[in-house]
Amino acid sequence: MPTSNPSPRHRSVIVPVVIAVIAVALTVVAIVVSRPATSTTGSAQGSAQASQPSASSGANSAEPLAKLPRRTAGDPLAMGETDAPVVMVSYSEFQCPFCGKFARDTEPGLIEKYVKNGTLRIEWRDFPYLGKESMTAALAGRAAALQGKFWAFHDAMYAQQQPVNSGKLTEDYLASVARKVGLDGERLIKDMARPELADAVGKDFTEGQSIGVTGTPAFIVNGQPIIGAQPAHVFEQAIENAAEAAR
């Protein structure tokens, strides 16, 4: 990765502690979920508990957040129509227990209800902040995307999610996950070393930091943030509100 854009594995996530900024961010989140600012659903064990996601935004945050969707045709890390009225940008990583909860419990319902009918597009963003294994897994996800099966790999990774920084997310393990969903495991390992994949992960990570993402999962639905693995109805309401506003 270029020197001017250090890899996420060598960077710590720095949160600007500015009271006014945090107050505005909490206000925006409160509006999205249609109730006073909510905390992340449930609690994770170990290190994940100390790394609850947060976001900061300034008074003019709506415009930059609304510009986050890329709508790139053929993007293997996105699902849904490029011209869908609602785009949910998802900052996630494969070690995060909260991301796993969302992927298993909430995302399938959103796909069935909103992606399939053309209302919603979901765009994945890598935000591997929990350690070296997070970066390794992110590269594996990108390598799976080169074989056209990012989402199958994504589902398999979360279906049997490994403990945070357990030492289990080795190249051999990731290749075995890839084989289970019909990918070439040896090619996956080889492709993980391609510099452009690390660059792409770094681009996503930097983008997230630039809007105040400090943990995962963090979602932006047509410019409005939803922080954490909130209940399904929170996402449904945000999507329906955004779809109505887009008409």
pLDDT at 38: 35
Helix (H), strand (E), coil (C) string for 120-146: EEEEEEECCCCCHHHHHHHHHHHHHHH
Domain 8-245 CATH superfamily: Glutaredoxin (3.40.30.10)
Whether residue 42 is predicted with pLDDT greater than 80 in this model: the reply is no
Q: How distant is the alpha carbon of residue 7 from its chain centre? A: 17
pLDDT at 61: 52
pLDDT at 55: 52
Mean pLDDT of 156-176: 98
Mean pLDDT of 118-127: 98
Whether residue 132 is predicted with pLDDT greater than 60 in this model: the reply is yes
What is the torsional sign of CA 198, 200, 206, 209?
A: negative
Whether residue 39 is predicted with pLDDT greater than 60 in this model: the reply is no
Average pLDDT, the chain: 83
Mean pLDDT of 113-135: 98
Measuring CA to CA, which residue among 164, 148, 128 is closest to residue 7? 128
Q: What is the pTM of this model?
A: 0.77
Q: What is the pLDDT of residues 45-102, one digit of tens each?
A: 333 333 444 554 443 456 789 999 999 999 999 999 999 999 999 999 999 999 999 9
Terminal-residue alpha carbon distance, the chain: 41
Mean pLDDT of 33-40: 35
Do 142 and 136 touch, CB atoms closer than 8 A? no
Percent share of the chain, pLDDT over 70 = 75
Cα separation, 154 vs 206, whole angstroms: 21
- Angle (CA) 101 30 59, round 5°: 115
Buried b (16+ CB within 10 A) or exposed e, 217-231: bbbbbbbbbbbbbbe
pLDDT at 63: 79
Do 95 and 165 touch, CB atoms closer than 8 A? yes
Mean pLDDT of 204-230: 97
Query: Where do the domains of the chain lie?
Result: 8-245
Percent share of the chain, pLDDT over 90 = 74
Q: What is the pLDDT of residues 2-31, one digit of tens each?
A: 334 444 444 433 333 333 333 334 333 333
pLDDT at 97: 98
- Angle (CA) 52 192 141, round 5°: 45
